[in-house]
Amino acid sequence: MTTTSTSRPSTPVVEPILRLRGIGKEFFGNSVLRGIDLDVRPGEVHALVGENGAGKSTLMKIIAGVHRPDAGTMTLDDAPATFTSPLAAQVVGVSTVFQEFNLLPERTVAENVYLGREPRRFGLVDAARMDRDTSELLTELGLVGISPWMRVGSLSVAEQQIVEIVKAVSYDARIISMDEPTAALADQEVELLYELVRRLKERGVAILYVSHRLKEIFDLCDTITVLKDGNQVITTATADITPDQLVRTMVGREFSGYFPEKDPTTVPGEVRLALQGVGNTQVDDVTLEVRSGEIVALAGLQGSGRTEIAHGIFGIAPFSRGRVLIDGTEHTLTSARQAVRAGLALVTEDRKAEGLALGQSILANARLVLDSVTPRTSGSRARRIPGILSSLDLVARSAETEVQYLSGGNQQKVVLAKWLVTDPDVIVLDEPTRGIDVGAKRAVYDLMRELTADGVAVLLISSELPEVVAMADRILVMRDGRLAGELPAGSDEETVMSLATGAGEESAEHVAVDLSVLAEHPEALAALPGASDAAHRPGGQPADRPVQQEER
Amino acid sequence: MSTAVTTAPPAAGAPPSSVRRRRRLGSTGIVYLALVGILLISVVLVGLRGGNFFSQSTVAYMLTQTSLLGFVAIGQTFVILCRSLDLSVGYVVALCSIVGATTMAGDPNRVWLGVVAALAVAAGVGLVNGLVISRLRVNPFIATLGVGLIIKGYLDTQFKGPAGSVPASFQGFGYTRIGPVPVSTIVMVAVAVLGVVLLTRTRSGYHMFAVGGNVDVARLSGIRTGRSIVLAHVLCSLCAGVAGLLIAARFSTGNALVYSYGLDLDSIAAVVLGGTLLLGGRGSVAGTVGGVAILAVLDTTFNVLDINPFFKDVLRGAIIIAAVALYARRQIDPASSRARFLPGRRAAPSAPTGTSGPATGGASA
């Protein structure tokens, strides 16, 4: 494996503060990062992009001092650097703002910023100086809406994020990494963050910016590094790449899976589930239909509101507006219990926390819904459980085995069995193949085909683009809590990704046109080099790539 | 022109903070408001019976009630702030009353020796509690219950009845009053002031809030979290030790059976009634003193009105539950929820630039 140094002629030569060379990381024998070279320069905003699971988070955690790399070297100011903890990294000027906040909501802004190093005077904490210093920092960064004495818990999410950044600046951070800083922000809040990032840049701070949102990346970032399957695909100046080129480098991850063909006799029938303009605090104006025998995929980035749709349908966080129709009848579901009674099933995203009683047996888990919702018939219905379990190829010593000792795949089969015995008309699968092995994935796909053949309506929520593209009859893409568009079966991953990230900033019609052009040119994808650890600039792309940018 | 729409100039800090700047009544404020309310009701009720709530004897009784529970509850505040708990305080009070009284052995010259011995034993117990919790990672509930049971076993086998004797000079700590105010209350207030200073003016205090608020955040900020927990437990036991000395001064002897007074749970009730979060991270000693005072006012009123003891406990229980339920309601802070759209019945308006069509709303610049 040769390591080519990243030559970047387009940028004036500023010596990097932090250099990563050949960084690799393994978890339990699985290689998640290989040969990453990264130069972080002062006053530069460096975007780190890639699909879910591409390795961005791991790379950030290595830089933050959370993980130690298994291969390669890091140098800070030309001296070898090993960060033993996030605090150690922070003290030498490398701060990270994670998605989950490291703040104390009950304490004030100043107390949070100076936590663990409160200034003292005559042995007592000098609260006045703490407030004053925080106030100065806030003014310097142009933040007028926040005062040092405000309780952090009373601030908005954006403001809390800003407090985190202010904390980093107070450590004299020279490098600040931000992990999807806008993921939880509303549009007008994003402006605040933009402004702050620009000011930090002016101060010569290097910023490592992880985001899925292409608009932000092109607005803010100077350099882009794309990761895919743990490899560095390219590192390029933002000016040298277009949004759709970027999308193309991100997608097309290797997917070790097998997708069962659709049975041609399975055709969509009656509308089983219909949402008409539903919304609550997390999603807005969503209209969709799922027919019997149909698989509808709900794609989108994490945090785009897909799971919230599932929770809304299932009555966990009910919609506050719009109508939900099940088999043509309007329902107002305000609890999961009512949802089950109405013939719905929901395989939740986090099977350990929400799907299983880990300390109980397979059988007890499989009976969970039956016993609690339909106790009268559960005895007779439960007799089908062994049959269902074996049809899912569940591997376990006995039905009395506690589910905590099963593999992820087998655990997921127990969750599926739990719902199958209730004979649902509509089943919502939220990330059904996350963290399970190839064999179990295949079982899930086979099951989806069988269910549709039996006339069940399937709503599939997934971040695995290959899965979405191969399994769905129709693909709905969500962005920022709203539907961004609908794509037919057989659309390619790139089009889905473009919609989800907002690569096309024009109106939906334009995107749809562009996407159809893209779909006709699959060779554009093939023209890309395979995953390689060498930095690469896609300067010479085929000219037939869709001219989506014309409008802009 | 491939440049995307540039962002508008500093709309930074757009939501004006005036709404938030309005100082909300803090938890401690509410506690004292409740105290005043309960006091008013008591005065009226006692007045209707033809009594005077502010008679010297009633006030003295009330203040005497406060000091014993006050010491224990102030100590309990530190540990609860750190998201810990101390169920051994009752046994520590009993143990220290005996250690103090037996060390003094009726000799006025040995008073200070007795005080130091009692406090040293208390600090030792606190150290053990703190280390078992922070080092052995035993749940505080179990750790302090276990330590408490060990002390109980020792007391039950070694001291069947009163032990030791307290010289007259030290009994003054239990009985002397300046006007209607007992010396023990003055000492309690002094301890409370020290507690307030510790929590609001020292790094140790700041770090206790951090440890109780989120132990990972505290650790990531370089705080030695174990130390904060140990310190809190030592302080808690020391306060219980002072309470033990007060018992010895009042009874003029040490008494093992004091542990059956229920000081452990009463102190937790007082702390929670004082607005401190049982899950740690928020609270104050001033609030705790208010909580103790509320309980004392209730007890005094019940006594003066001669209320049946069963009904008395029912009322106390109901009031504590009601108070905590009230605090819990206040903690739901709408400002910090991550709402993306308005929750209302009508669809939320899309972004100000107002691109037509619902599908594009979220993407507008």
**Mean of pLDDT values over A24-30:** 83
Q: What pLDDT is stored for residue B15 in this prediction?
A: 40
Neighbour-count burial for A445-484, b at 16+ CB within 10 Å, e otherwise: bbbbbebbeebbbbbbbbbbbbbbbbbbbbbbbbbbbbbb
Q: Please, which residues 532-551 of chain A have a Cβ atom closer than 8 Å to chain B? A: 549
Q: What pLDDT is stored for residue A255 in this prediction?
A: 60
**Mean of pLDDT values over A116-124:** 92
Between strands A18-27 and A71-76, the pairing is: antiparallel
Whether the Cβ atoms of residue A447 and residue A456 lie closer than 8 Å to each other: no
Question: Does residue A523 surpass a pLDDT of 60?
Answer: no
Contact criterion met (CB < 8 Å) for A282 and B341 = yes
Q: Low-confidence residues of chain B, pLDDT below 70?
A: 1-25, 329-339, 344-365
A194: containing domain: 18-240
Average pLDDT, chain A: 84
Measured CA to CA, the distance from residue B337 to residue B350 in angstroms comes to 19
| B26-40+52-328 CATH fold | ABC transporter involved in vitamin B12 uptake, BtuC (1.10.3470)
Question: What DSSP assignment string belongs to B65-129?
Answer: HHHHHHHHHHHHHHHHHTT---S-HHHHHHHHHHHHHHHHTT-GGGHHHHHHHHHHHHHHHHHHH
CA A541 → CA A47, A229, A520, A544, B342, distances in Å? 21, 22, 16, 8, 44
The band of A521, judged by pLDDT with boundaries at 50, 70 and 90, is very low
Whether the Cβ atoms of residue A74 and residue A20 lie closer than 8 Å to each other: yes
Is A513 or A82 the better-scoring residue by pLDDT? A82
Residues of A in contact with B20 (CB under 8 A): 150, 154
Assess whether A229 and A293 both reside in one domain. no
Assess whether A89 and A213 both reside in one domain. yes
- Residue A142's region, left for phi above 0, alpha for psi from -120 to 50, else beta, is left
pTM above 0.80, yes or no: no
Query: Which ipTM value was assigned to this complex?
Result: 0.82
**Mean of pLDDT values over A127-141:** 93
Residues of A in contact with B283 (CB under 8 A): none
Question: Does residue A390 surpass a pLDDT of 80?
Answer: yes
Measured CA to CA, the distance from residue A225 to residue B360 in angstroms comes to 28
CA A325 → CA A290, A331, A335, A341, B46, distances in Å? 10, 6, 16, 14, 62
Lowest-pLDDT choice from A217-226, A523-532, B74-83? A523-532
A489 in a domain, yes or no?
no
A2 in a domain, yes or no?
no
Distance from CA of B328 to the nearest CA of A (A): 14
Q: Which position has the token pair 């007259």?
A: B168
pLDDT, tens digit (0-9, with 9 covering 90-100), for A472-515: 999 999 998 899 999 998 888 889 988 888 875 543 333 333 33
Among candidate residues A463, A487, A513, the one where a domain is terminated: A463
pLDDT, tens digit (0-9, with 9 covering 90-100), for A163-189: 999 999 999 999 999 988 887 676 677
Q: Is A188 on the interface with B (CB under 8 A)?
A: yes
Q: What pLDDT is stored for residue A253 in this prediction?
A: 64
CA A237 → CA A505, A530, B125, distances in Å? 21, 20, 63
Long-range contacts of A185-189 (CB under 8 A, 24+ apart): A185/A157, A185/A158, A185/A161, A186/A158, A186/B340, A187/A480, A187/B351, A187/B362, A187/B364, A188/B11, A188/B14, A188/B351, A188/B352, A189/A156, A189/A157, A189/A158
Contact criterion met (CB < 8 Å) for A115 and B218 = yes
A11 in a domain, yes or no?
no
Among candidate residues A438, A463, A488, the one where a domain is terminated: A463
Helix A493-501 and helix A508-519, axial crossing angle in degrees, nearest 10:
160
Q: What pLDDT is stored for residue A154 in this prediction?
A: 84
Assess whether A341 and A383 both reside in one domain. yes
A504 in a domain, yes or no?
no
Assess whether A97 and A197 both reside in one domain. yes
A450 in a domain, yes or no?
yes
Q: How many CB atoms lie within 10 A of CB B179?
A: 8
Is A254 or A99 the better-scoring residue by pLDDT? A99
Q: What pLDDT is stored for residue A506 in this prediction?
A: 42
Parse chain B into domains and list their residue ranges: 26-40+52-328
Among candidate residues A406, A434, A463, the one where a domain is terminated: A463
Q: What pLDDT is stored for residue B349 in this prediction?
A: 52
Contact criterion met (CB < 8 Å) for B343 and A320 = yes
Measured CA to CA, the distance from residue B59 to residue B57 in angstroms comes to 6
Contact criterion met (CB < 8 Å) for B336 and A154 = yes
Assess whether A216 and A86 both reside in one domain. yes
Q: For Cα atoms A411, A413, A414, give the angle at the middle one, nearest 5 degrees.
A: 65
Distance from CA of B276 to the nearest CA of A (A): 11
Residues of A in contact with B8 (CB under 8 A): 191
Q: What pLDDT is stored for residue B111 in this prediction?
A: 94
Q: Please, which residues 252-291 of chain A have a Cβ atom closer than 8 Å to chain B? A: 277, 279-285
Of A502, A495, A411, A435, residue with least CA distance to A214: A502
Q: Please, which residues 29-58 of chain A have a Cβ atom closer than 8 Å to chain B? A: none
A74 in a domain, yes or no?
yes
A529 in a domain, yes or no?
no
Task: Count up the domains in chain A and report the number.
Answer: 2
Residue A65 is part of a domain; what is its CATH number?
3.40.50.300
Assess whether A282 and A162 both reside in one domain. no
Is A184 or A70 the better-scoring residue by pLDDT? A70
Q: What pLDDT is stored for residue B240 in this prediction?
A: 97
Assess whether A138 and A201 both reside in one domain. yes
Whether the Cβ atoms of residue B236 and residue B148 lie closer than 8 Å to each other: no
Q: What pLDDT is stored for residue A13 in this prediction?
A: 64
pLDDT, tens digit (0-9, with 9 covering 90-100), for B37-60: 999 999 999 898 888 888 888 888
